[in-house]
Amino acid sequence: MQTIAERLDSARKGIDQAANNAHRPPNSIKLLAVSKTKPVSDIMEAYEAGQRMFGENYVQEGVEKAQALAHLNDIEWHMIGPIQSNKTKVVAEHFDWVQSIDREKTAKRLNDQRPANMPPLNVCVQINIDDEQSKSGVKPSELADLITFIQSQENLRLRGLMAIPKADPTADEQNMSLSKLKEIFDHYHNSLTNFDTLSVGMSSDMQAAILSGSTMVRIGTAIFGKREYPKA
Ligand SMILES: *Cc1c(COP(=O)(O)O)cnc(C)c1O
């Protein structure tokens, strides 16, 4: 069995390799370690191996981990799962990034509830790039309005887009959705300050995502192993 440190090392090497293939500098792609459902001790192991960015999907679980590790003040916590309105306050109080914004209401509440002594909350809009019925994320046609709204919120800093492309796509489907995503990203990246993050790519599609411009890959299974309970 490999240790978390060894798997993290392989994940970083995989990113560097994909970056090379794409003729991009390896440091232009960040690694978010997705620690959902995994214990604090796993996060500590990754931390000791140098990892600083962690992603959580479930509000309660993420907040508990952030509190347990509050003494490690260089950890950057990213919320990447859906947020119910009654949970926005604890998210605004404990996270550094929220990547899963897909409606004005959530954005407004996070803005209003961000404590005054904390820096602006970094946010990404989650876009439902393949227009899937079941999936969270704003429709591409509704993106512009949401972006305008977020730009007006002074406690939010709009950093980019997050997407979870369709599972098990054909090569053509994957190319189409990744290139559509890249085109939308470039449009805003070229016109807005701070809009520097294209969060796409997981354990299974990291290579393809990096080839088409991802700046942040979100890796869970390949670092921490399979999850005990089968939540997305
Ligand atoms: C679980 C999850 C990941 C990580 O997925 P793996 O397949 O375990 O690498 C990435 N992004 C989101 C939004 C997730 O929910």
pLDDT value for 1: 80
DSSP H stretches of helix in the chain: 4-21, 40-48, 59-68, 88-94, 104-113, 143-151, 171-189, 206-211, 221-224
4, 124, 166, 202: residue to mutate for ligand 1 pocket, most atoms within 8 A of CB: 202
* Candidate from 15, 34, 56 with most ligand 1 atoms within 8 A of CB, to mutate: 34
pLDDT along the chain (232 residues), means of 10: 95 97 96 97 98 98 98 97 96 98 98 98 97 92 98 98 94 96 98 98 93 97 86 52
User: Taking the domains of the chain in order of start, what are their residue ranges?
Assistant: 4-224
Residues facing residue 76 across a β-bridge: 53
Rounded distance from Cα 166 to ligand 1 centre (Å): 13
> What letter would DSSP give residue 102?
-
CATH number 3.20.20.10 is the correct assignment for the domain at 4-224: yes
Residue owning the nearest CA to atom 7 of ligand 1: 203
Name 151's Cβ contacts closer than 8 Å, sequence gap at least 6: 158, 192
Cα–Cα nearest to 83, from 67, 96, 65, 99: 99
Count of all residues that appear for the chain in the document? 232
Give the three-state DSSP class for 55.
strand
Tell me if 163 CB under 6 Å of ligand 1: no
Residue 127: per-residue pLDDT: 98
